[in-house]
Amino acid sequence: NAGVTQTPKFQVLKTGQSMTLQCAQDMNHNSMYWYRQDPGMGLRLIYYSASEGTTDKGEVPNGYNVSRLNKREFSLRLESAAPSQTSVYFCASSQVWEGRSNQPQHFGDGTRLSIL
């Protein structure tokens, strides 16, 4: 029962470096999400993909890009990392029927990213 798998679990980058966070789900969910978690602020949505082939901005999209590679995989890319992007990143997936918000999101274990 893998659920949502994120790689890597930890990463340290230097300012200006780029990297891609990988996420895969095996629950056949149509929707996938990327959040960041900062102390005292809960989780904030970066980007989401309501279905394969579509992506949309969330609350804090600046500095990030995403790719919905196929139904299973949704990657998050930092093109030029900045210290303000130091955070814990969570990927999630859920099944959404007829555009209704009715199912819980299932989360990966998170990627702890530090940018020096």
Partner 1 sequence: AQKVTQAQTEISVVEKEDVTLDCVYETRDTTYYLFWYKQPPSGELVFLIRRNSFDEQNEISGRYSWNFQKSTSSFNFTITASQVVDSAVYFCALSGNNAGNMLTFGGGTRLMVKP
Considering only residues 65 through 84, tell me which ones interact with partner 1, judged by CB under 8 A: none
Residues 96-115, mask of contacts with partner 1 (x by CB under 8 A): x--xxxxxxxxxxxx-----
Could you give the C-alpha distances from 48 to 38, 43, 69, 116, in angstroms and in order?
Answer: 18, 13, 13, 27
Alpha helices in 1-116 (DSSP H): none
Q: How far is the CB of 17 from partner 1 (least distance, A)?
A: 24
Asked if residue 28 binds partner 1 (CB under 8 A), the reply is no
Could you give the C-alpha distances from 28 to 4, 67, 95, 105, in angstroms and in order?
Answer: 11, 17, 8, 13
Q: How far is the CB of 63 from partner 1 (least distance, A)?
A: 19
Find the binder of partner 1 among 21, 43, 46, 60 (CB under 8 A). 43
Could you give the C-alpha distances from 86 to 61, 62, 100, in angstroms and in order?
Answer: 14, 14, 33
Whole-angstrom distance, CA of residue 63 vs CA of residue 24 = 22
Find the binder of partner 1 among 56, 80, 82, 84 (CB under 8 A). 56
Q: Footprint of partner 1 on this chain (CB under 8 A)?
A: 31, 33, 35, 40-45, 48, 50, 56, 58, 88, 90, 92, 94, 96, 99-110
